[in-house]
Structures are given as C-alpha cells and as structure tokens.
Amino acid sequence: MLSRPRSEAEKNYLIDAIDAFNRRLLIISPDFIILAANLTSREGHPENIIGRPCYEVIPGCSSPCVNCPANDALKTGKASLRYDQSYNFSDSMGMFCLFSYPIYRQDKLEALVMLDFDLPSLKNIEDRRIRSNAFLRNLIHSAVDGVIASDPTGKILIFNDAAAQVSGYSVAEVLNEITIRDVYPEGGAREVMRMLLSEEYGGVGKLISYHIDAKNKSGEIVPISLNASIVYENGKKVATIGFFHDRREEIRMQKVLEKTQVQLLQAEKMASLGKMAAGVAHQLNNPLSGIILFTKLVMEEYDLPQDALKDLDRVLYDANRAKDIVKELLKFSRQTSHEMKPLDVNDIISRTIFLLENQSIFHNIEIAKDLDMKLPSITGDAQQLNHVFMNTILNAADAMEGSGKLRLKSQFLSEAGMVRVEISDTGPGIPADVLPHIFEPFFTTKEQGKGTGLGLSIVYGIVESHGGSIRVESAPGEGATFIIELPAINGQQGGGKID
Ligand SMILES: Nc1ncnc2c1ncn2[C@@H]1O[C@H](COP(=O)(O)OP(=O)(O)OP(=O)(O)O)[C@@H](O)[C@H]1O
Ligand SMILES: [Mg+2]
C-alpha cells in the first residue's frame, strides 16, 4: 500500500502516462460501469463513455461478456487474464489478451482495471515455424549434392532427392528400412566417424572432401566425395550430416583423359613409325631397282643354262613384288591432303588385301573375294578409304585370332544408288553388350597396349564424311559382318576393272 500521498504533479504524470499508453485501459465498477478510461479507450467514441456499461461500449453487447476476465477477478478477488481469439473486438493479427486487476479500498474490491494487449498468436508462431521448416526441407531436397544425416545409432534422419537418385533407394525406404551402415559398406560408416572425431581431416567434427565408396540399392559400389560434420546440441552429439556427390562421371572423364594421353603417345609413336617405314621404303627402292636391272642384264647378256634362267626369273618376280609392296607402302604412308576423286572401290579393296595378305596374321586366313565387276565409281579419298578397309579387315583378323575365313563382297544397290561392301569374318562375333559401343572412340575389348579403340571411330568418321553409312551385323559365335555403303557417282552402274 502507498505509504505517502502523491503530489498533484505525480498524479498528473500518471494520468499522462496512462493516456500515452496505446492500449485500452478502463476502470470499471464491479457491475461493469465505466468509471474512467484512457485516451485509447475513447478512440472511436466521441460520446461520453463514462457511466456506461463497458460491454455496451467496447464489444457492443447487451449483457456482460461471458469470457470477460472481470468475472474471474470478481469471483476470486485476484488478477485474472484471459486470452482468446474469440474476443470480437480484437483488430490485431495476434492473440488478444484481456487483463483484469482488482482495485481495493479498505480491503473492499471497489473497482477493476481492464487492460488489453496482444500476444503474437500461437497459430502465427506455428505457421511461421511450419513455413521455415518447409523452406529448410526444400533447401535440403533441392540441393544438387546428396544430403544424408543420421543420429548416433545410425538411423537415417535426412535423405534428399539427389541422395535418392545416386543410391537408387526411395527417401521413404531409407528413412524406414536401412541405416547409415548400409550406405557405407564394410566399416565405412565407422571409418567416417573415426575421421570426424580426429583432428586430421579438417578439424574435430569435420571431414572435408573425403573419397569413399557407397553402396547403392542394387549392391553396386558408387564412389563419392563426402563433406561431413557432427551436429552438436548443448555440447552433445546428436547427428552427423554429410553432403556428397557421385564421382563416377569424374572418374570416367579422368580415365578418358589418361587414356587419351596414352593414345596420343601411341599415335605419335605410330606417326614416327609410319615416317620411318616411308623412309625405309624409299631407300629400298633404289637397291630393288638395281636388283631388277642387273638381273635382267645378266639374263640377257650371258648364255645361261635353263635352270639358272628359271632361278633368275624367280629373283626378278620377287624383286618386282618387293617393289610393288614398297610402292603401296609409300602410297599408304604419304601425308597428302585429302583429295576427293572418282574411285573404284574394288581397286581399293584389292590394294588393301595386297598389303595385308602376306602378313603373318593372315597366313591361316582364307580370303574370299566376291567383287562385283560392274561396280560404279564413287567419289572419295583413296588414302582415307584405304584406312577404312585396312582397319575393318585387321579387326576381322584380330577377331579370328589368325585363322578362319574372311569374305569381301562388293555389290551395287541400284535402287539406292549405293556401292555396298561387306566384310565378314568367322570370328567369335560381337556380344550384344559390346555392339552399341564399337564405334565409340577409345572403346576396345583388347588388352592394354593391344588396341587403341580408335580404329572403328575413325572408320565411322571417314564413311560419314563420304556420305555413306557403316553398320554391323553379328551374333555371338557366328562371326561379324561390317556393311559399308557409299554413294555411287550419279548412282550409275559402271564397268569396273579388277586385279
Ligand atoms: N570383326 C570383329 N569381331 C569381333 N569384334 C570386333 C570386330 N571388329 C571390332 N570388334 C570390337 O570392336 C572393338 C573396337 O574396335 P576398334 O577397331 O575401334 O578398336 P580396337 O580394334 O580394339 O583397337 P584399334 O584402335 O587398335 O583398332 C574391338 O575392341 C572389338 O571388341
Ligand atoms: Mg581396330
């Protein structure tokens, strides 16, 4: 209770303070008659509200409000608070609260102070919480990286769409059916935890850019790069969270790059070998011309017995053959710019066979030529087309491992106006899973160092640039047939010659 009387000035200040207060403050009698009101309570009421029932003035009712805290205050003699959104005189977005404080005079409850104020409504708080949760969930789910979080027992708490995509599991499956130990097999999860607890991998509680194998739903190992951290709450470990991405594409690219490097070295080696072969061929030309010339001279100038003449004939034959080979080799390795001119495909096939048939890999390969003598010419670059047949025929010989039958067939498809060449072998054929890849650069099934995997991709490029097509028909165990079609000049049938 107040021990000293208030001065007029203090009383005035108090009244001013109550008027400055931007909430409604009313003093009512126990029978709800307004005894005093601050300025805010008078807003919108130009008439005198003193002496009127509060329920008439504020909510505009004809009887006291059932839910008014004044009822409780009157009943209990103590301050009472009600908060309710059903107060129809609340104009705020929050939760409307009404306080009622009893005023005593000589221990008698004489009046009640009624004071209203707003609390932000719980619903608003809940809405905001839901919205921010949804935002966080969206953030996690739309992340490009996989996100996975688990509690200390290994139960997975968060698993986003990117993680689901890499793992093959649905989010629901992961949250209900598997643990972190299924994601990182063979002690991987324990190892991640060990590293997280160590100083060495980005500080305690952190693991940065760690390469680890994860296992997807079908049991396949997926290499990933993981950034992980321990989540603490009040100093206690409550979860670990990991952000990861699939490294398969990165590893594939790395391998392609490494392979390309090896191929480049190989190509360089092949180029210098080619140059060397051209040089050697060139140098052989002179002694070979000498052998031919002097053999002819000896045969003409001396009166030799028949047997010696026969032997020299053989020398001449072989020397001429060697000269032809040298000529072809030179033609083949010559670095000329591409020159498109009318060509006889049969001629190119025969030249390629001529160069190849004496190589040891062809010794036990029977070569059957079934060439259409009336093949029209095509427009093409002889050197490039040599490559096409050389690569395809060598592939066939490789597939047959040096023994079998190679069939070369040419024909004219008059309706399509195309020259078709079929190169068939009796090798093991091409398995269905290999077939779609054989024209890809660097695809090879040959052991390291044996094949570059470039052969057919180059062939494909050449055939395409000649306006033609190449495809393969093959069944395992039944050999392979490469079918090359090239446009004939004017789509006309001709009268080709054949070696
Ligand atoms: N006639 C064939 N029979 C069976 N498989 C074949 C045949 N021709 C090609 N292939 C398959 O296609 C793959 C790709 O052939 P490609 O010529 O592009 O490369 P490569 O022969 O392996 O190497 P290189 O670059 O040395 O030619 C081969 O590794 C082989 O698996
Ligand atoms: Mg090849």
Q: Which two tokens stand for residue 218?
A: 């079908």
472 within ligand 1 shell (Cβ under 6 A)? no
Query: Smallest Cα–Cα separation from 392: which of 344, 339, 353, 442?
Result: 353
In this structure, are strands 156-159 and 146-150 parallel, antiparallel, or unpaired? Answer: antiparallel
Atom of ligand 1 nearest to the CA of 423: 1
**Partners of 464 in beta bridges:** none
Using alpha carbons, list the distances in angstroms from residue 14 to 21, 22, 109, 174, 483. Answer: 11, 14, 22, 65, 105
C-alpha 429 – ligand 1 centre gap (Å)? 11
pTM summary value: 0.44
Gyration radius (Cα) of the chain, Å: 48
425 within ligand 1 shell (Cβ under 6 A)? yes
Q: Tell whether domain 8-120 is in CATH 3.30.450.20.
A: yes
443 within ligand 1 shell (Cβ under 6 A)? yes
C-alpha 55 – ligand 1 centre gap (Å)? 97
438, 447, 484: residue to mutate for ligand 1 pocket, most atoms within 8 A of CB: 438
Q: How many Å apart are CA 306 and CA 340, to the nearest integer?
A: 49
Is the CB of residue 135 less than 8 Å from the CB of residue 121?
Answer: no
Q: What residues does CATH 3.30.565.10 cover in the chain?
A: 338-491
CATH (residue range 338-491) = 3.30.565.10
102 within ligand 1 shell (Cβ under 6 A)? no
435 within ligand 1 shell (Cβ under 6 A)? no
Q: Which protein residue has the closest C-alpha to ligand 1 atom 7? A: 395
For the beta sheet containing 418-424, the strands, ordered from the edge strand earlier in sequence to the opposite edge, are: 364-370, 403-413, 418-424, 480-487, 469-474
Q: How many Å apart are CA 375 and CA 410, to the nearest integer?
A: 8
Atom of ligand 1 nearest to the CA of 427: 3
Q: What residues does CATH 3.30.450.20 cover in the chain?
A: 8-120, 125-246
Query: Smallest Cα–Cα separation from 176: which of 194, 160, 157?
Result: 157
456, 473, 474, 482: residue to mutate for ligand 1 pocket, most atoms within 8 A of CB: 456
b/e per residue 327-361 (b: at least 16 CB within 10 A): ebbbbbbeeeeeeeeebbbbbbbbbbbebbeeeee
Per-residue pLDDT of the chain (499 residues; tens, 9 = 90+): 556 788 999 999 999 999 998 888 999 999 999 999 999 888 888 889 999 998 888 878 888 888 888 999 999 999 988 876 544 444 444 556 788 999 999 889 999 999 887 766 566 777 788 888 888 888 888 888 999 999 988 899 888 999 998 889 888 888 888 888 888 888 888 888 888 888 888 788 888 889 999 888 898 899 999 999 999 988 888 999 999 999 999 999 988 888 777 767 766 666 666 667 777 877 888 889 899 999 999 999 999 999 999 999 999 999 988 888 777 677 666 544 567 899 999 999 998 998 888 888 899 999 999 999 999 999 999 888 988 999 999 999 999 998 999 999 999 999 999 999 999 999 999 999 999 889 887 789 988 767 777 788 888 888 988 999 999 999 888 999 999 999 999 765 554 443 3
Q: How many Å apart are CA 36 and CA 41, to the nearest integer?
A: 10
CATH (residue range 125-246) = 3.30.450.20
**Partners of 246 in beta bridges:** 224
